Structure 1
Amino acid sequence: MDLRRVDLNLLVAFDMLMTERSVTRAAQRLSIGQSAMSSTLGRLRKLFGDPIMTRDGRTLVATPLAESLAEPVRELLTDIENVLALRHEFDPATAEHTFSIIANDYLTMTFLQPLIARLSIEAPGIRLRIYPTGDDFADQLRRHRVDLLLMPQEAFEEHTEFHHRTLFHDRFVVAVDKDHPEVGDEITLEQFTSLPYLAASSGHLRSLSEMQLDFLGVPRNTEITAGFGMAPFLLRGTRLITLVHERLARSIRAAAEIRLLEPPIPRLQPITEIMAWTNRTDAVPGHRWFRQTLIDLADEYNDTPAR
């Protein structure tokens, strides 16, 4: 095939169709009309001599040929993007760019908030889109719908499929109301297993603290389940206890009116927060700068213990 007669933009459209599996969403991502996207699909069908997408009820299903082409086309586009990006310097002081991140409330409040404050001064043209952690977080990154994924390594079994870097570690502490009537400066294992317990969750996902307690066989008198970002604020005026990330707990303990105690569970392990990204952005100067900014921030974070 003579490449001079091929519109290589069709490969961009093909990649977006395979990512979104929807003509409408692909058109939105490419900032074109739906009719134009439908016309582009027709051109792709002619180019490859294949339907590419077929309708099954209300959904579009990729053909076997399209599935076999998806990864090679993505790698080709990544190589082209990287070649073009390497020709341009990135100046954060003047750059205009939006980075998309998946991160939970804990990371947003304790780690990304200082980043936001720093960017407003050092890189005012840099914008962030922070999305909550859903059940499909790995697929969101794999399909390039976000640039970075920040989350505990222990909850991300597929992290080895991506580029990744450790940011920092954090541990769990017990939180109680500051005037808890039954808990003093320490909490015993008997109290931990018998007092009303507030179980933390992350959306539809169980928290690492709850999974660890189950693994260690530690019983709880669970009365309430809530998101771990709001859990500490629900303890006020109650006999409830909960496990919470230490850095989050220490940053909000005055506002939440809570006390923090050592867990009476010696084998409770800390968490390892990592960031993960794909090959598509690995060598792009702007993305490299952004990741290094997060690494530098994590180094400062590690130099300032939560205690």
Structure 2
Amino acid sequence: MKDLRSIDLNLLVDLDALLSTRSVTEAARRLNLSQSAMSGSLSRLRRVFADPLMVRNGRVLTLTPRAEALIPPVREILHQIDGVFAERADFDPRTTTRSFSISASDYATAVVLAPLLRGLAEEAPNVTVNVLPRSPDVPAVLRLDSADLVIEPQEMMVDTPLPGHALFSDRWVCMLDAGMHEPAVLEPFDRDRYLQLPHLVYSIGQERQLNFADRHLASLGVHRRIELTVESFLMAPLLIRGTSLVGLVLERAAFILPLEGLRLVEPPIPVPNITDAMYWNPRHTEDSGHRWLRHRLAATAARLTPMGGAS
């Protein structure tokens, strides 16, 4: 183990900038240093890690495997150091200019974040809320402080060690364009007719990670003809209208979408309800501003109307 007294820990700041920008010039600009000073830091870092860290590939610099592996722990260390020295002043929503980031689906954004933001307009006029898309790697998003809160279904976060708080529940219904189907198809809408139709499914990321409902059907061995995948719950009505597609959508979102000509029916194969919850990095649990945001989000969710029923 190296003697930390022999290492300038300020190099971690330089290393983070280099890893983030992958450019000596941009890292120097970010930290308001000269390019020669940043080049000197890179040389020292190469000696410390016994690795070139950044190598030239044509006209650009690329990170070595060792450098890529250093990105998460270096970011984590700097966040922890920042937390040690951060001021613990009382949080006042009326005067703070703090910025918060929340990772959520467009569904959760429409259902709970929209009313939250309307409520904050007067209570916290100078707070900025950045809504980020969902990520398939929730622990990494929170560990690196890429988001203050993540809203995800509890059913997708089984056995997570992250602190969390349940917000609201919802149920799945099938959405179809009634004008594209004979009445006998929908009344009753049975399993055989359901499986004969082309399906729209929701997924996230390049890996096309399926949502809880579609994972559940897959676990039952249900085989469907998936004709379209989309990364937006709120696009479902636009994509289903005028087609024979059927899609599983969440009821709360469905009733705030334009449903003219569309029909919501009970799934012929039962799908368990979901409960959306917020999760956060445990090091922020006692932060007064973070605690305020969690309280406001929980209070907003508690005021949501009960679920209705598909016709």
Q: Fold match, TM over 0.5?
A: yes
2:230 equivalent to 1:226:
yes
Query: Aligned equivalents of 1:111 and 1:2: distance in 2?
Result: 47
Moved more, 113-122 or 223-232: 223-232
Normalised by the size of structure 1, how large is the TM-score?
0.78
Aligned partners of 1:121 and 1:289: how far apart in 2? 15
Amino acid at match of 1:172: W
| Structure 1 match to 2:59 | none
> Given that residues 26 and 37 in structure 1 are in contact (C-alpha distance below 8 angstroms), is that contact kept between their aligned partners in structure 2?
no
**Distance verdict in 2 for CA 1:20–1:174, change over 3 Å:** same
Preserved contact between residue 198 and residue 224 of structure 1 (Cα < 8 Å)? yes
Structure 2 Cα separation of the partners of residues 20 and 215 of structure 1: 39
CA drift at 1:99? 0.7
Tell me how far apart the structure 2 counterparts of residues 138 and 37 of structure 1 sit (CA, whole Å): 35
* Residue of structure 2 equivalent to 1:54: 53
Q: Does 2:251 align with 1:246?
A: yes
Aligned length: 296
CA contact under 8 A between 1:200 and 1:206: conserved in structure 2? yes
Shift of 1:140: 2.4
State which of 271, 276, 283 in structure 1 corresponds to 2:274. Answer: 271
Compared with structure 1, are the counterparts of its residues 114 and 62 closer, same or farther at alpha carbon in structure 2 (3 Å cutoff)?
same
Q: Specify every segment of 5 or more residues in structure 1 that has no aligned partner in the other structure, as ranges.
A: none
1:73 Cα deviation after fit: 3.9
Q: Distance in 1 between matches of 2:12 and 2:159?
A: 26
Which of the residues 209, 212, 236 maps onto 2:216?
212
> Given the two structures, how large is their TM-score scaled by the length of structure 2?
0.77
Query: For 1:180-206, what per-residue CA distance to the aligned partner results, in whole angstroms no more than 9, with x for missing partners?
Result: 434445411121111232222234322
CA contact (8 A) 2:14 2:38 kept: no
Change (3 A) 1:74 1:258: same
Contact 1:103–1:130, Cα closer than 8 Å, also in 2: yes
Q: Distance in 2 between matches of 1:67 and 1:205?
A: 24
The Cα of 1:40 is off from its aligned counterpart by 8.2
- After superposing the two structures, state which structure 1 stretch, 225-234 or 151-160, moved more: 151-160
Judge conservation of contact 2:14–2:27 (CA < 8 Å) in 1.
no
Distance, in Å, in 1 between the alignment partners of 2:36 and 2:298 is: 42
Question: 2: distance between equivalents of 1:144 and 1:75?
Answer: 8
For structure 2, the 5+ residue unaligned runs are 57-61
CA contact (8 A) 1:55 1:61 kept: no
Match of 1:102 in 2: 103
Q: Secondary structure at the match of 1:169?
A: strand
2:166 pairs with 1:163: no
**Deviation digits for residues 227-271 of structure 1 (CA, Å, limit 9, x no counterpart):** 3331232222222211111111121143x54221111123x1112
